[in-house]
Structure 1
Amino acid sequence: MSSLKLLIYAISAEIASLLLLLSRQADLSLFVLYLFSHGLASALLSVVAWGLLPARFRTPKILSWVLIFSFAFFIPAVGLVTILGGVALGIWLPALFRDKPFGLVAQPYFSPVQVNSAAGFRQIDLKSLLTTSRAPNALRVQGMLVLKDMPAKVTGNLLRHTLGDSFEDLRLLAYGILDQKEKEITRDIERALHLLERAKESRRYRLARRLSELYWELNYQDLVRGDIRTLTLERAAFYADMGLMEAPEDAGLWLLRGRIQLSQGEIGEAHQSMTFARRLGLSAAKVNPWLAEIALQRRQIPLVRLLMREITDDSQFTQLNKSVEFWRAHEPATGG
């Protein structure tokens, strides 16, 4: 039985005893009934009050309970209120003056770690640094701040891997960097959509192309995953098609459309779009690597060599130059 029910019963019994005491009839049976009702109320109240007392006040058990019962029994009505008030004060009053094990401190000021540009963090060094828990946390935080200014396409996988790191500050920095990059592109998308709603026919092509590029950028920088990535690619394809309806001679947009299709797994359609881009005058250095990737997926190795050989040596892309050198170095020997 809960203490609240016992307290209600005690108050009810005490009220009944007071009514009997205030009765004008002078009868011994009424007095005995009063004593019984008042005694029951005192006993119930003693049980409740004793259970609410701090542990140091409940010893010895029998004597402490008898003391409470005597106080309630020999001081009718007033004893009940006094006991309840005393218990409340005994519980709440010491809490006001109790020493707390903690205190309030001023909000700390975050001072970012100064990144020395001459430190020379390399991408492989950063990956090793951020994926190991043996390095000092301060150095790992410094390395994370270096990632903030690097392209998300290069750092996206590393940042997502760091989201599961055991060091909380590193996790928060990784989440903040990814969230900031995504929000920047999302704001540009919202601005372009707002302009497209009120744009004239002459501006619809440029805005559609811009929206396709922005949606593609979310995927290219590895800022979206799962169903969101699928939806993002669909929106990028939708606005690319809208732009091509207005300007079908845009070779760059045909190449973007092909890359979107390639990411969606539509290899045949991607090959057609990129072939259109090549025919419209886009250089081999921009189109052939993607056509070579499609050929490689189809296991057309001779075609890969042919496409990579068409790329000129003066290509400005360092990584592309290495790929061209690789395929040229592995050309099959021709018989004399």
Structure 2
Amino acid sequence: MISKWLFSGAFVFELGSWGALFQEMPIGAAALLFVSAHGISSVLLAAGVWLLLPNRYKFPLPWSPLFIFSLSFFVPVLGAIGVAIAVFPALYMPRTQKEQAWDAIGVPDLPFRPQERSRDLMFQDGGLQDVLRHAPSAQKRVSALFATRRMPSKDSIPILKLALRDPADDVRLLAYSMLDRQESEINHRIQVSLQQLADATGAHKAAVHATLARWYWELAYLGLAQGSVLEHVLKQAREHVNSALAQGAGDDSHLLAARISMEMGDLEGADQHLLDAQAAGIDLEKLLPFMAEIAFSRGDYTAIAQLLRQLPEDMLTRPPFAALARYWL
């Protein structure tokens, strides 16, 4: 209703401004009367049009109404007609809106536990590392650490170690406590096995030695031991696995001994343990990746391709061997 009165007033003042030009009066007075009446008309027209505009076109102030006023004031007659032609059809005959096929939503928070778990988490830790490196919110980085609780230790520990360098105290303390918990659990199992070893005899003693070798190896394999501690852990693992083999432990101990020797840089010993494992009945396809790794460490790159070709075809199509097959074969 207000807009109609504003438009009516704008029309009347616009007619009055043009009527002043045809009156018998001095040019200066006629020009002043024309400009005044035309200016009032432009103000009323701009106000009326501005009230009818959708909210998204009304702001920012004062530029929206000032633009309409400028069109009407600086382009007499044609400006007002142009505003009317541009605005009124759009107001009363709006374009039909197409159905929106998608909705914009906010970025969801990182869950404390995986919503969907895959059997193979080998390639799912990169996203959490990116969160720890780039997320500005400490709470999101803490959430990333909580998400590692459902991951294998081999994949989660590098993420926790990365969090130890985080600038936020909460993130560092949480990462340290989670690492310490895993290390404490393994050390506790080692202490229990050492107590059992004191009273063990015969085959049971060989099994306890094998268990100790596995737990010491676990500390090294997971990266929980470094430097001189790593050397000590590997030596303990080798001593116990050799004792287990000497007392008739199972064929898996040969493979464990080979992996320990590889980690210590004893490639000849690792090669011999793999041969012993094969003689003990371990499937060759289980040993071939380690043989290829030894060949790589020796620089015998021709042997790598020969060893990988002996793996089953379906095995070469699955990670991590798919990438190796593409490169070496």
Aligned mates of 1:316, 1:302 — CA distance in 2: 18
Name 1:197's counterpart in structure 2: 198
Counterpart secondary structure, 2:268? helix
Could you tell me which runs of 5 or more consecutive residues in structure 2 were left unpaired when the two chains were aligned: 1-109
Aligned mates of 1:161, 1:181 — CA distance in 2: 16
Could you tell me which runs of 5 or more consecutive residues in structure 1 were left unpaired when the two chains were aligned: 1-112, 332-336
Name 1:146's counterpart in structure 2: 147
Query: Would you say the 8 A contact 1:212–1:239 is kept in 2?
Result: yes
1:129 maps onto 2:131 in alignment: yes
Range with bigger deviation, 277-286 or 315-324: 315-324
Query: Would you say the 8 A contact 1:151–1:221 is kept in 2?
Result: no
| Change over 3 Å in CA distance of 1:254–1:119 after alignment to 2 | closer
TM-score, normalised relative to structure 2: 0.61
Residues 5-38 of structure 1: CA distance to partner in whole angstroms, max 9, x if unpaired? xxxxxxxxxxxxxxxxxxxxxxxxxxxxxxxxxx
Aligned mates of 2:133, 2:324 — CA distance in 1: 32
Name 1:175's counterpart in structure 2: 176
Q: What is the deviation of 1:277?
A: 1.1
Aligned mates of 1:179, 1:200 — CA distance in 2: 33
Counterpart code for 2:255: L
Q: What is the deviation of 1:150?
A: 1.6
Q: What is the deviation of 1:318?
A: 4.0
| Change over 3 Å in CA distance of 1:119–1:244 after alignment to 2 | closer
Counterpart secondary structure, 1:117? coil
Name 1:80's counterpart in structure 2: none
Counterpart code for 1:123: D
Query: Would you say the 8 A contact 1:165–1:171 is kept in 2?
Result: yes
| Change over 3 Å in CA distance of 1:202–1:273 after alignment to 2 | closer
Residues 287-333 of structure 1: CA distance to partner in whole angstroms, max 9, x if unpaired? 11111011012121121111111111344994343245325xx43xx
Counterpart code for 1:291: M
Alignment of 1:69-148 (within 5 A): 115-118=112-115, 122-132=124-134, 134-148=135-149
Counterpart secondary structure, 1:222? coil
| Change over 3 Å in CA distance of 1:215–1:115 after alignment to 2 | same
Aligned mates of 1:154, 1:123 — CA distance in 2: 7
Query: Would you say the 8 A contact 2:291–2:307 is kept in 1?
Result: yes
Query: Would you say the 8 A contact 1:212–1:240 is kept in 2?
Result: yes
Counterpart code for 1:283: D
Query: Would you say the 8 A contact 1:209–1:239 is kept in 2?
Result: yes
Counterpart secondary structure, 2:115? helix
Query: Would you say the 8 A contact 1:288–1:311 is kept in 2?
Result: yes
Q: What is the identity percentage for the equivalent residue pairs of Structure 1 and Structure 2?
A: 26
Number of residues of Structure 1 aligned to a counterpart in Structure 2: 215
Aligned mates of 1:282, 1:255 — CA distance in 2: 9
Misfit runs of 4+, over 4 Å: none
Aligned mates of 1:169, 1:317 — CA distance in 2: 42
Name 2:88's counterpart in structure 1: none
Aligned mates of 1:247, 1:202 — CA distance in 2: 7
Aligned mates of 1:203, 1:116 — CA distance in 2: 40
Counterpart secondary structure, 1:319? coil
Name 1:273's counterpart in structure 2: 273
Alignment of 1:1-336 (within 5 A): 115-118=112-115, 122-132=124-134, 134-247=135-248, 250-315=250-315, 318-323=318-323, 325-327=325-327, 330-331=328-329
Counterpart secondary structure, 1:118? coil
Counterpart code for 1:287: L
Q: What is the deviation of 1:191?
A: 0.6
Q: What is the deviation of 1:282?
A: 1.2
Aligned mates of 2:317, 2:240 — CA distance in 1: 28
- Provide the aligned C-alpha RMSD in A: 2.3
Aligned mates of 1:251, 1:314 — CA distance in 2: 25
| Change over 3 Å in CA distance of 1:255–1:317 after alignment to 2 | farther
Query: Would you say the 8 A contact 2:128–2:159 is kept in 1?
Result: no
Query: Would you say the 8 A contact 1:189–1:215 is kept in 2?
Result: yes
Counterpart secondary structure, 1:224? coil
